[in-house]
Amino acid sequence: MKTFKYFITGLLGLLLVTSCQDDTADVGDITAPSNVVITTEVVGIDANNPNGDGSGTVNFKVNADNALAYHFVYNGETTLAPQGEMTYDFAITGLQTYTVTVIAYGTGGNSTSKTVQLEVLALYEAPADLLDMLVGNTSKTWRIKSESAHFGLGPVGGGVFAEWFSAGAETKAGTGMYDDRYVFNADGTFTHITNGTVFGRENLINEIGGPGDGTADGADILNYSYGDYTEGWSLNAPGGIETLSLTGLGFMGYYTGGNHKYEIFARSASEMTLRTTDGNGEFDWWFVLTSDDGSEPTAFVSEFNNLSWSDEFDTDGSPDSAKWGYDIGAGGWGNNEVQTYTNESANAIVEGGFLKINAIKDGVMYTSARLKSQGLYDFTYGRVDVRAKLPASAGTWPAIWMLGANFETIGWPASGEIDIMEQTGGDKNSILGTFHWLDSGTNTNASYGETATENTSTTDFHIYSLEWTTDKVIVLIDNVPYTTLANNADLPFNADFFLILNIAMGGTLGGDIDAAFTQDTMEIDYVRVYQ
């Protein structure tokens, strides 16, 4: 995305600049700021787009001699900008004229103000489902989701959720994060209910008045005293990425400074995954917010009700060859796995109404099976339900997943991958739902996933599901969503995929295999696809 910097005084016909000095400068130790210079950066402005790229985003920066602090005044709201920098997302659709006033404060409270007017083009209109998700009819209250991976950091511009660090469930309890509430109102106001304290990065939290009485913990300040406040919120989509912006020093979850913009990486009706770059430009910080108040979840209602394909495994013997083929052989399968896949009945058999995939130690090697519907049943969009009980042995890596049907032509990850259920070899109380695709910017694997706790996955049957539409891809367990990715035309999840069922041994997720391992099984009651 191109940006173009220019001085306000140089905008011919677009900008009107006025100023007033409220007090006389240099009176003893009382000094009013002078030489106020405001620089703006209209995102996307160039010779062909004199009013910007339509995102409506304008970055402001002000400098003045003898200034100690700056305030920005827009639309009747005054916002402190300690570094003299402010970003506004002007959201009124069309080409509009906006007025912004900057007040520079010097010693003794003396001030000098300058007002600018500029024309900005805004073309973005937030889709109805996004507005409904965020505010409902009039307002909606959100909180940081503490139940699973919900907070972390990664490289700036990274496409993988919390690539460098991801906080586990409740691991930030007692910091001043989990009791905060964030209220988005339909009138454009945002209220942060802090319950008295917030959580932030030490060298940045000073912006909101630090150091205060919080507790230093490494690079963090825990339980910093900070009262409730109200700011504004707006939506736009620079570069096609839905972005939530807060005015002033508004923030959510963990104070990171920066531009107070949160890219919406994934969203559903009650959950959104946000990414923001900190004020040091060092990290991208990731947050998962939920509008669920923590009570028992309401039943998820699928969009798909017509059964289009299934296998109930009612006929004993080999799996139905009209529905299932096999991947056969060894070689690690790209993940350092140690098993050899076969089509032998010892490794895949239908018995008593269940498909049994058996991983077996055979001397110094391991055998298993990987069944796939490739070329027999490929489909786009729908609901997938797989009722299964998972193997309990350390080192087993069971998976219920899907690959793009063009996998053999364009390769992975360009084909896309949907992991409806994976379980590591070392943690049999958790399951993973993950999406993989090719990040066109870096030409590398991009992925997003979440973990759900399920302590009876190896002793009881559970239903592992996928809800797949043009707008979203959701992974569920027992009809409770726990991983959601917003789908769009740039992702591979808009073409045919096929189903895969397997147990791997060892490898990147299987880990160390129990030395006493002899055999273990994934039992599958049924596989059903609704469209």
Task: Give the tokens for residue 158.
Answer: 């990274």
Longest dimension (CA), the chain: 98
The amino acid present at 296, given as its one-letter code, is E
CB count within 10 Å of CB 298 equals: 9
Residues 274 and 290 sit within 8 Å (Cβ to Cβ): no
Radius of gyration of the chain (CA): 28
Interatomic CA distance for residues 290 and 268, integer angstroms? 9
- Parallel/antiparallel/unpaired status of strands 497-505 and 480-486: unpaired
Nearest to 486 by CA among 219, 267, 235, 196: 267
- Count CA within 13 A, CB hemisphere, residue 480: 14
- Residues 6+ away with beta carbon under 8 Å from 295: none
The amino acid present at 20, given as its one-letter code, is C
Sign of CA dihedral 389, 313, 422, 335: positive
From 202, 242, 263, 417, active-site residue: 417
- Parallel/antiparallel/unpaired status of strands 339-341 and 365-368: parallel
Beta strand spans in 195-336 (E): 197-201, 215-217, 220-225, 229-236, 243-246, 261-267, 271-277, 284-290, 307-311, 325-327
SS (H, E, C) 486-503: ECCCCCCCCCCEEEEEEE
Nearest to 384 by CA among 419, 412, 355, 408: 419
Task: Give the tokens for residue 242.
Answer: 């839905």
Residues 384 and 420 sit within 8 Å (Cβ to Cβ): yes
From 422, 450, 467, 523, active-site residue: 422
The burial class, CB within 10 Å (0-12 / 13-18 / 19+), for 57 is: buried
Q: Kindly state the DSSP code that residue 357 receives in the 8-state scheme.
A: E
Q: Cis omega (within 30 of 0) on the bond before 297? A: no
Interatomic CA distance for residues 224 and 7, integer angstroms? 38
**Residue 422 a catalytic site member:** yes
Task: Give the tokens for residue 272.
Answer: 């959104």
Q: Kindly state the DSSP code that residue 410 receives in the 8-state scheme.
A: H
Interatomic CA distance for residues 35 and 386, integer angstroms? 69
- Residues 6+ away with beta carbon under 8 Å from 311: 319, 320, 323, 324, 355, 526, 527
Nearest to 75 by CA among 248, 302, 265: 248
Active-site positions read 417, 422
